[in-house]
Amino acid sequence: MPKSYRLSKVTRELNISIGRAVDYLGEQGVEMDTNPNAKLDQAAYDLLLNEFDADRLQKEASGEVNINKLDKEKKEQQKKEAEKKKKEEEEKARKEAERLAEEEKAREKAQEEKERLEKIAAEKKAEEERAKKEVEEQAKKEEEQKLAAQQEAEKEKKESPSLLTERKKLAGLTKVGKIELPSDKKDTEKKTSTKGKKLTPANSEKEEKEILDSRKEQESKSDAPKKEEDDDRIKTKYKKLEGITKVGKIDLSKFEDKKKKDSSSDDKDKKKRKRIKKNVKYDNRKGGNSNRNKNTRPKKDVSELTEEEVQKQIKETLEKLTGKANKTSNKRGAKHRREKRKNRREQEELEILEQEQNKTIKVTEFVTVNDLGSLMDTNVMDIISACMSLGIMVTMNQRLDANTIELVADEFGYKVEFTDAELEEAQEDEIVDNEEDLLPRAPIVTVMGHVDHGKTSLLDYIRKENVIAGESGGITQHIGAYSVEVEKNKFITFLDTPGHEAFTAMRARGAQITDIAIIVIAADDQIMPQTEEAISHAQAAGVPMIFAINKVDKPTANPEKVKEQLAQKNLLVEDWGGKLQSQDISAKTGLNVDELLEKILLEAEMLELKANPDRLANGTVVEASLDKGRGYVSTIVVQNGTLRVGDYVLAGSNHGKVRAMLNERGQQIKEAKPATPVTILGLDGAPTAGDNFRVYADEKEAKQLAGKREQLQREQSIRTQKHITLDEIGRRIALGDFQELNVVLKGDVDGSVEALTDSLQRLSTEEIHVNILHKGVGQITESDVLLASASDAVIIGFNVRPNSSARSVADKEEVEIRTYSIIYDAINDVKEAMEGMLSPDLKEEVIGEVEIRDTFKISKVGTIAGCMVLTGKITRNSQVRIIREGVVIHDGELASLKRYKDDVKEVNKGYECGLNIKNFNDIQVGDTIEVYVVNEVKKKLK
């Protein structure tokens, strides 16, 4: 029987459509239906194979390309199976461990049961012995009673023999009947039998077992009739479902191997089969492979191809597919490009999946809903709906706080990392300088130490100027920046910091800006708290320290004591074998100041300080103030680049063009190199001391950043503003007399305002709270007075005065304005005002003791006591306590106090007097009256 082939199978094998195969066979004179199940004879199959052999080869080539992909999938499948097998083994081991634990528990339970039975047996034995003893004692007593009765009977018989017939003889206990208990006979027999025997644990166990068996037999007897009744009923047969039942496991690998073996066997058969060659004429007008007949090269047998030749043919086939020779090649090239695009899309999807595995977004606080949506690549409406589900109504441009951002991001599977806006911008705009562009720069040196230890005096001697004369109270209250030429073309930039305890933030800023820290310590004093704080700031900033031990010219100076105290704090100077430099100096006479400067230059050379002057400047704001004629003035230190007049500067949320630049002596300069302190004019506000500044080439960019920062600050101030809560109201009611001091604070420079704010807020206690309503730089204006009037506040001005309009409004509104030039005067006055607002403490003071000698009862007046003042005195308006036999029976006040017939204000020790106690008449002779007064004592702040 000739072999037949199904049409669908042949078209799949040759990688052609059914329509194409039918059309070609029709051209060759073979009529064929388009039904996929139609069968072909051998001749028709050979015709198709001869014509479309190239398509078959193309399919085989694409199959070989995908082998690696299939191998990879197979390996992954094997890996998953291995992991599954491992998990099953772990589960099996866990179950085995649980089974062993249960067996151990059952063993322990059996042991406990055994001990319990032994205990029960011992108790039974003790009860039996006790019962036996009681029976013996009872029998003995009965025997004695019986003997006594017999003796009495015999005695009576002798006395009166006639009454013997009338009396009954007592013969002990009479057995009336027998009560059968419901317990089993066997149990009673065993109990009676064991009375004489000695029970052992083995016997008790045996007996318990027998008792249980007998009970089971009784139960089975009682259940027998029930079972007979149940047999008459029709029972419902059901099967309890217990989840999925594992029937078996299907091994898919068997089917894959079988398919591969079948296909390989078919290929071998096809290769071995001899082709039937027929002289067939082909029409060049139809079919994509008409040019094939022009190729006269002899065909190679496929079975003889080596591996290298196969790879070569695949390569050639792919090259033909990508070519543009005719329409067929164009179609094949398009198909290949589609496959490449598909592979590229798959690769991109894999990359996206890898990115999604690490979903962490970096945002600043108070970011808008729209910005958050773009960061998370999520539609804004989805974020708004998520917020509504959380109970928060938001709009597209509304800013969210930190907690809301975290909640929304968590809803979409993101983690949030909050960053500072300025830090983020600095990281984005940071420019790395080339090594060849860096040039040496002057060191920035900060002078720190305790108040009145000689920091400013040292700088005065170096600069040959008297700065202290210009400071109020002889103490430094501002941070100053100076540039000094110590040698030819060698400069040092000095920063002078205040030493008062209120200026902690200023010292911290000085330590952050500096390269080297000089710690000034007075030789006639010791290491003070501010000295320790300055050392801590320098250590935290990681800057090298040089200790300048000042005032060595004084007769009471002891530098070695200072070095000893430093050694106790693990700070060893070079004289004591350490690494820290120190120098004994006198700022007043200039002793050894030159050597101190040499040590500073040596330390700077070791640090190798460099900067790039040929770039846009950046640095730090040291101080900011408001000048009446010049506007906002900012003292800055350029740390990198060169600052020029006309540059557009952004410092914090303030920005502006540099209109003028002055050095520390007030002289105008055109440019400032790195490590140069200058004062600039032109900013639109007073930046916060410690803010970083940067010069921007694009003015528009700087304004956008300033607007963004200002908006964030405004949002932060609104969100962080505390509103009174029910808990706070309850706390204030519980205290009874809670007070609040509202303050409007204005200062000459930002650093002083910040220091004064911190100091005043630290004065707050549980009973009185300092509330800073507003703080700012500049003179006291009319708006400050109106704010203080509306909120019942006090205005405090530090080194500033109110203008004429503000003073007139303050007089009209009766607002108090206090101005100070020394910081601790301001702090002390506010402290005293707070103490005055506190309710005073009540203190009781005993002023005298009076003894009642006699009493007189007068109608319409009450009981009058005749008394003698024993100690102290008694006054008319004093409080009294009546004490009888050491117990206070009344506490009240006097209604009248008389001596003879006259009313008196007081009676002293040793005199007699008469008195009447208000609303109290139970006075007896011998009572003692304790006289006391209640004084109000001013409460101090804790």
In terms of domains, do 561 and 465 share one? yes
**155 in a structural domain:** no
Are 742 and 792 a contacting pair, CB within 8 Å? yes
Domain limits for position 875? 841-937
Last residue of a domain, one of 105, 134, 154: 105
Are 753 and 747 a contacting pair, CB within 8 Å? yes
In terms of domains, do 881 and 921 share one? yes
- Is residue 443 very low, low, confident or very high in pLDDT (cuts 50, 70, 90)? very high
Last residue of a domain, one of 543, 571, 602: 602
Closest CA to 365 of 406, 411, 412, 394: 406
Are 878 and 891 a contacting pair, CB within 8 Å? no
**407 in a structural domain:** yes
Structure confidence by residue, pLDDT tens digits, 141-196: 888 888 888 888 777 666 554 444 444 444 455 555 555 554 444 444 444 444 44
Q: Rounded mean pLDDT of 753-781?
A: 86
Separation of alpha carbons 810 and 820, rounded Å: 17
H/E stretch holding 495 reads: strand 490-496
Q: Rounded mean pLDDT of 184-213?
A: 48
Q: In this structure, what token pair is assigned to residue 782?
A: 């009319």
In terms of domains, do 598 and 466 share one? yes
The domain total for the chain is 5
DSSP, collapsed to helix, strand or coil, labels residue 520 as: strand
| Cα torsion through 51, 54, 59, 60, rounded to 10 | 110
Structure confidence by residue, pLDDT tens digits, 321-362: 665 444 444 555 677 778 888 888 888 887 776 666 567 777
DSSP per residue, 700-742: HHHHHHHHHHHHHHHHHHHHT-----HHHHHHHHHHSS-EEEE
Q: In this structure, what token pair is assigned to residue 111?
A: 């042991």
- Is residue 931 very low, low, confident or very high in pLDDT (cuts 50, 70, 90)? very high
Taking 60 as the threshold, does the pLDDT of residue 428 lie above it?
no
In terms of domains, do 448 and 596 share one? yes
Q: What percent of the chain has pLDDT over 70?
A: 73
**619 in a structural domain:** no
Cα of first residue to Cα of last residue in the chain, in angstroms, is 117
In terms of domains, do 494 and 595 share one? yes
Task: List the binding residues.
Answer: 449-456, 496-500, 550-553
pTM of the model: 0.47
**353 in a structural domain:** no
29 C-beta neighbours (distance < 10 Å), count: 8
Q: What is the pLDDT of residue 894?
A: 92
Closest CA to 287 of 253, 259, 326: 326
H/E stretch holding 73 reads: helix 67-159
Q: List, in sequence order, every residue forming a beta bridge with 899; answer none if it has no partner.
A: 902
Structure confidence by residue, pLDDT tens digits, 103-150: 888 888 888 888 888 888 888 888 888 888 888 888 888 888 888 888
H/E stretch holding 422 reads: helix 421-429
- Is residue 8 very low, low, confident or very high in pLDDT (cuts 50, 70, 90)? confident
Separation of alpha carbons 778 and 684, rounded Å: 13
Strands (E), 716-859: 739-747, 768-777, 794-798, 817-820, 841-858
Closest CA to 60 of 116, 15, 3: 15
Q: Which residue type, as a one-letter code, is found at position 597?
A: L
Separation of alpha carbons 844 and 824, rounded Å: 35
In terms of domains, do 744 and 865 share one? no
Separation of alpha carbons 566 and 928, rounded Å: 65
- Is residue 766 very low, low, confident or very high in pLDDT (cuts 50, 70, 90)? confident
Q: What is the pLDDT of residue 674?
A: 92
Structure confidence by residue, pLDDT tens digits, 711-748: 777 766 665 555 556 666 666 656 666 678 889 999 98
Q: What CATH number did the domain enclosing 906 receive?
A: 2.40.30.10
* CA angle (674 as vertex; 669, 679 as ends), nearest 5: 40
Separation of alpha carbons 661 and 679, rounded Å: 6
Separation of alpha carbons 688 and 624, rounded Å: 7
Are 693 and 640 a contacting pair, CB within 8 Å? no
**339 in a structural domain:** no
In terms of domains, do 449 and 576 share one? yes
Are 506 and 755 a contacting pair, CB within 8 Å? yes
In terms of domains, do 845 and 826 share one? no
- Is residue 245 very low, low, confident or very high in pLDDT (cuts 50, 70, 90)? low
Q: What secondary structure, in 3-state letters, does 210-274 show?
A: HHHHHHHHHHHHHHHHHHHHHHCCCCCCCCCCCCCCCCCCCCHHHHHHHHHHHHHHHHHHHHHCC
Q: What CATH number did the domain enclosing 744 receive?
A: 3.40.50.10050
Q: Which range is most confident: 45-59, 303-317, 703-717, 816-830?
A: 816-830
Q: What is the pLDDT of residue 260?
A: 46
Q: In this structure, what token pair is assigned to residue 652?
A: 């914090």
Cα separations in angstroms, 466 against 458, 470, 485: 10, 8, 18
Separation of alpha carbons 521 and 186, rounded Å: 106
Q: Please report where in the chains the tokens 């001899």 appear, as a residue.
A: 274
Last residue of a domain, one of 46, 76, 105: 105
DSSP summary character for residue 399 = B
Separation of alpha carbons 565 and 523, rounded Å: 11
387, exposed or middle or buried, with CB in 10 Å at 0-12, 13-18, 19+? Answer: buried
In terms of domains, do 411 and 541 share one? no
Q: What is the pLDDT of residue 690?
A: 80
939, exposed or middle or buried, with CB in 10 Å at 0-12, 13-18, 19+? Answer: middle
Strand pairing category for 862-875 and 39-40: unpaired
**308 in a structural domain:** no
Q: Which range is most confident: 50-54, 170-174, 296-300?
A: 50-54
H/E stretch holding 486 reads: strand 480-487
Structure confidence by residue, pLDDT tens digits, 625-659: 888 788 899 999 998 999 999 999 999 889 999 99
Are 483 and 531 a contacting pair, CB within 8 Å? no
Higher model confidence: residue 620 or residue 207?
620
681: CB partners within 8 A, 6+ apart:
630, 631, 632, 633, 658, 659, 660, 661, 662
Q: Which residue type, as a one-letter code, is found at position 292?
A: R
851 C-beta neighbours (distance < 10 Å), count: 15
**286 in a structural domain:** no
Cα separations in angstroms, 314 against 57, 198, 309, 601, 788: 9, 101, 9, 76, 90
**402 in a structural domain:** yes
- Is residue 887 very low, low, confident or very high in pLDDT (cuts 50, 70, 90)? very high
Closest CA to 519 of 536, 502, 542: 536
In terms of domains, do 47 and 67 share one? yes
Q: Rounded mean pLDDT of 35-54?
A: 83
In terms of domains, do 759 and 824 share one? yes
DSSP, collapsed to helix, strand or coil, labels residue 237 as: coil
Average pLDDT, the chain: 78
Strand pairing category for 643-644 and 39-40: unpaired
Give the strand order in the sheet containing 794-798. 768-777, 739-747, 794-798, 817-820
DSSP summary character for residue 570 = T
Q: List, in sequence order, every residue forming a beta bridge with 680; answer none if it has no partner.
A: 634, 661
441: CB partners within 8 A, 6+ apart:
609, 610, 611, 673, 674, 675
Q: In this structure, what token pair is assigned to residue 760?
A: 């005043």
Q: What secondary structure, in 3-state letters, does 590-657 show?
A: CECHHHHHHHHHHHHHHHCCEECCCCECEEEEEEEEEECCCEEEEEEEEEECEEECCCEEEECCEEEE
Q: Which residue type, as a one-letter code, is found at position 514?
A: T
Task: List the binding residues for GTP.
Answer: 449-456, 496-500, 550-553
Structure confidence by residue, pLDDT tens digits, 384-424: 888 888 888 888 888 888 888 888 888 888 888 877 655 44
Separation of alpha carbons 826 and 818, rounded Å: 8
Q: Rounded mean pLDDT of 440-465?
A: 85
Q: In this structure, what token pair is assigned to residue 268?
A: 């071998």
In terms of domains, do 597 and 484 share one? yes
CA 705 to the chain's CA centroid: 30
